[in-house]
Structure formats: structure tokens, C-alpha cells
Amino acid sequence: MIARGLLIAAPRSGSGKTTITLGLQRALVRRGLTVRGLKCGPDYIDPAFHAAATGAASANLDSYAMSDGLLGHIAGEAADGADIVIAEGSMGLFDAVPGAAGHTGASADIAALLGWPVVLVIDVSGQAQSAAAVALGCKVYDPRIRVAGVILNKVASARHERLVRQGMELIGLPVLGALPREASLILPERHLGLVQAGETADLHARLDALAEAVSAAVDLEAVIAAAGETRLPSTETATPPLPPPGRRIAIARDAAFSFVYPHVEAGWRAAGAEIVPFSPLRDEPPPEDCDACWLPGGYPELHAGTLAAAGRFLGGLRRFAETRPVHGECGGYMVLGRKLTDADGVTHAMAGLLSVETSFAKRKMNLGYRRAVLEADGRLGPAGTALTGHEFHYASIVTQGEDRPFATVRDPHGSPPAVAGSRRGLVTGSFFHAIATAESA
């Protein structure tokens, strides 16, 4: 059985689509449905919340970085055997970057490809009937998609709700629910987004509270009825999204290193690789029986002192790198460098396997899609291999050092290409997060 699906989206960021998505997912699970969550775009944090809300794995769907086949494969796995897929959009429904038709990174691309109707979450604070004009624009802007209805968020009063509903009636969009302003429904955040699911206190109590609020304010039967048939494109995936860097991969996994895409790990396992987690924050070195080490992104800048004092981890990592490949993405790249300066301006010695020095003291957001072309042969492919992915970090490079570059990167907006990252011996790293090889995108 292939589940029907819905995309929960919004005209802009900050409308409340994450909390409403989680509330819907949890509420439907509590009604006995098998629910799967998916997240549009490059986001490490929300899928973990989806998994907690539904009790089933979640993954990302990225129309810029993934081919139709890979998108269909991920969506098909989620929909197989479920009752409904509740996917969450990113940013505004149509927000995109320059790209091929259907591959611009917009959430609307995913709705169009998979045939899922859109439920709009509209923050109606500070407006009434004017909210319908915004909804109407979303309804007619892209003929590829169908907006099935709206959920109103931050409704101030019964009178306010009546006025907004009048506007929606004029444009023929059903109101599937209306949630009042309620500060307790807000999930805690930090500089890269929500505090991670594993670190959120009383997570399941919070999810239950969201489910109760959504159940009281939203017509769940109407939401279920709005779901559309999942239309899967070709699911040929002869190769994993990224080649496994080894047959037995040591991967750092704790509060400092957690940004790994589910589809990447799934692809490695499908290719026959084994993933062996270890915790640098518990001063664990990469296991000796592994043949590659991967340091993901995360929040090492919040744990720099602990990592600098983790002698077993740092010593074991250095010994590992003498004979086997080590790669660091974003936060992992920072830890592979010589020094990391934290938010308080305190500088901590890191592994020193690369010569880069980074700082979180002077924050500058770096955000966007990237296409990276490898400068040398490595476990992610031979020189010239193109990878699609993104950057999202506030840390900056203080000193690049003398190492050779890892890749040449371009953004979709036509900026000049730039060298990125570092490589020395068997060690590589950069701020670039890889999503897929360009050949599969």
C-alpha cells in the first residue's frame, strides 16, 4: 500500500508550520494511523522531530540537490505501508534558487512532483480578510500544485477568526482549522534552528501538548480527506546518493556531531557499508576496526572545551588518520583544524589534522546551496566529481593555513567559483554538507 500524502507549507518562514506539522503528525498517530513525516529542503533538525512525533523514520526531499529518481525512492519508502505522509515544507512555499524546472529547491517542486495537495499554514496575526489575498496568491501562483485548504495560526479571538474565515470563503479555500495564540506551543531554538529533538526537555510531553492543541482546533478528518494520491517518479537508484567512504565507517554521534542526512546513511547501508557510532564528547576514539571516519556537522562550538580536553578522542583520531581516511563536514571540519574559538572568545586546541583555524566569536551567517567539484581523488569520488549540497554556519575561518583545497564550489546565483575546505594526507574537510553526487541530481 502506498500512502496518500500532504504537504504542510506556508507563504513565509515563521508561520508556525513546524509546530503544526508535528501536532498533526502526533494527533494522527494517537488516532491509530501509521504516519510518516518528510522534510523539504536541507534541514537536519526537523526530521528528528518528525521521527519522535510519528515513531517512524523521517528523511529529506530536496528538489535542488536530488534527482527525480532519488526523490521518488525516498518518498516511496516513506509511503510504503503507511496510512498517510505528512511532509513539511521549508521557508515560503515558492521560495527557490535558480535551477532547472522542478529542481529549484522550492517546496512547491515536491508537491508538484509527488502529486501531494498543499495545506497552507497562515499566520493571521495583524490581519483579517487580507490573509485571504495572500492565500489566493498561493492558490493561483503555480498551476502545477493544488492548495487544498488553510490552517490559521495565531488567531486572536473568535471575532478575528470569523473575519478571516469570511475572506477565505470569498476565494473558495476551506479553513481546516484555527489555532489561537499560545506561547507554550513554541519549541526552544538556538542559532541553527530548533534545539535538537534529543536535547529538548520533555519532548514527548511537548509533542502530546501539540497534538492536543491541534486536535482541538483542526478538523482532522478534513485533513485526512485532503491528502492526495502519491505519484512516484522513477525510483532507479543504482548508486547511493553519496559513495560510502569505507566498508565500516566510524561516525561521530552525540550532541556535538549530529548532522547526518538519513538518506545518506541509508544509501551507505544499502551499498553494504556498516556504520559504527562513537562519541567524542564521551572521549571515545574512532573504533580501530573501522576503515574510514566521518565527523558530521553539529555544535562543536558549544562543546569546544570538552572536545579540547578529550585526550583519548583526539589521540585516537590522529592515529586513525595516519592510515585511514577521515572527513569532516562543517562542525567536523572545525574540529579537524588547529584551533576553534568559542562564543566567549576563548580559543581551544583541536585535532590539528588540518591547518584551518575557525572562530564562533564573530558570527556571520553563511547559508545556501552549493555545487562542489572535488579537487583530488578521495573516498567521495575521483577528482572532478561534482557534489550537490549546502552550507549553513555562523563560524568563520580565521586562518586557512597551508593545506590544499578540498573542492571548488559555486552557488546557484552565478557567483564566481571559490576554493573551499582543506585536505592533507588522508584527511579532508569543509563547511560544505554533501547531499548527493551531481550525477544523481
User: HSE (CB half, 13 Å, CA atoms) of 295?
Assistant: 34
Quick one: cell of 265? 546513511
Cα 171 to the chain's mean position, in Å?
33
Q: Is 330 a catalytic residue?
A: yes
Question: What residues contact 12, with CB distance under 8 A and at least 6 apart?
Answer: 91, 92, 123
**Confidence at residue 190, expressed as pLDDT on a 0 to 100 scale:** 41
Find the helix or strand (DSSP H, E) in which 83 lies.
none
3-state SS, residue 214: helix
CA–CA separation, 72 and 115 (whole Å): 11
Contact of 337 with 350, CB cutoff 8 Å: yes
**What cell does 133 get?**
489575498
**pLDDT of 358:** 95
Q: What is the pLDDT along the chain (441 residues), one digit of tens a residue?
A: 799 999 999 999 999 999 999 999 999 999 999 999 999 999 888 999 999 999 999 999 999 999 999 999 999 999 999 999 999 999 999 999 999 999 999 999 999 999 999 999 999 999 999 999 999 999 999 999 999 999 999 999 999 999 999 999 999 999 999 999 875 566 655 444 455 555 565 888 989 999 999 999 999 999 999 999 999 987 665 568 999 999 999 999 999 999 999 999 999 999 999 999 999 999 999 999 999 999 999 999 999 999 999 999 999 999 999 999 999 999 999 999 999 999 999 999 999 999 999 999 987 878 899 999 999 999 999 999 999 999 988 899 999 999 999 999 999 999 999 999 999 999 999 999 999 998 544
**Per-residue pLDDT, 336:** 98
Given the residues 40, 138, 290, 330, the one annotated as active site: 330
Residue 49 grid cell: 522531530
- What pLDDT is stored for residue 192 in this prediction? 47
C-alpha distances in Å from residue 412, one per residue of 97, 100, 409: 6, 11, 10
pTM of the model: 0.93
| Residues 98/410/370/242 CA torsion (nearest 10 deg) | 120
